[in-house]
Amino acid sequence: MIKAKQLKKYDVVNFGNDILLIKNFLSKDNLNYCLSTIASAKEEDWGKDYVDGLKREALQKFGDSDYQKYVDENLMTMNSDWVDKSIEINEDVAMQISQDIQALFKTKTALEPMRTVQRHYPGSFLKEHVDAEHDSSLIYACVIYLNDNFNGGNLYFPKLGATIRPVTGALAIFPTGDQYLHGVSLVEPGPTRYALTGFIFSDSV
């Protein structure tokens, strides 16, 4: 799926099973923009943007933004763990980053804009999960790390025995099937962990 030629300009760590860490992927300008957005965000922003994302998802899937109705009907998932852990960046920057990811693939891809910054502050972690469990159209997950000065917070795949230590500016990309069960280990006392996230969809890969 990914062009080997496109990877030659990057320092790539291959963990096997199509799990890649592509270092120095994010441009310095876009990295600095994301860090500036994080620095200027108010605490209430981290909750508002998650809810706004749910409203947008409901509107795209069902034609209206009443996400709570679809959560109650088990047609959407609302993860309480994320309520205070995400903000969004400028759409133009998100699209630029997404286009850089799309350029890695042999065929045109459907990739939602990389607009969501997720944070894991000390004491938080991400439970083990399969990305495609609730949406079979997801075939690849993309994570761009915005810092690496935190303690803990590694991405791990228990079924595959792989662990990725985040590197600032690097893109982690991996499939979303059952064997790619993954989680983020506990972030220990110290700085907060920040990353951009998105998914590639099956309708055009």
Q: Which residue, 121, 96, 123, 61, is CA-closest to 198?
A: 96
Distance CA 36, CA 79 (A): 27
Q: What is the pLDDT of residues 50-92, one digit of tens each?
A: 788 889 889 988 999 999 999 899 888 776 666 788 899 999 9
Exposure string over 115-141, b if 16+ CB within 10 A, otherwise e = bbbbbbbbebebeeeebbeeeeebbbb
Q: Is residue 205 scored above 80 in pLDDT?
A: no
In the prediction, which pLDDT does 6 show? 78
Query: 123 falls in which pLDDT band (50, 70, 90)?
Result: very high
What pLDDT, on a 0 to 100 scale, did the predictor assign at position 175?
93
Quote the mean pLDDT of the chain.
90
Going from the C-alpha of 62 to that of each of 96, 119, 148, the distances in angstroms are 27, 28, 38
Whether 103 has a pLDDT exceeding 60, the answer reads: yes
The four Cα atoms 160, 163, 168, 169 give a dihedral, to 10 degrees, of -10
Backbone angles phi, psi at 12, to 5 degrees: -115, 130
Residues in the chain: 205
CB atoms within 10 A of CB 19: 19
> What percent of the chain shows pLDDT beyond 70?
93
pLDDT at 37 over 90: yes
At residue 203, the pLDDT reads: 59
Indicate the Cα dihedral angle 74, 204, 110, 81, nearest 10°. Answer: 30
* pLDDT given for residue 190 in this prediction: 98
Q: Which domains does the chain have, with CATH numbers?
A: 4-41+87-204 (2.60.120.620), 44-83 (no CATH)
pLDDT at 172: 97
Q: Sorting pLDDT into bands at 50, 70 and 90, what band is 107?
A: low
- Single pTM value for the model: 0.86
CA 143 to chain centre: 4
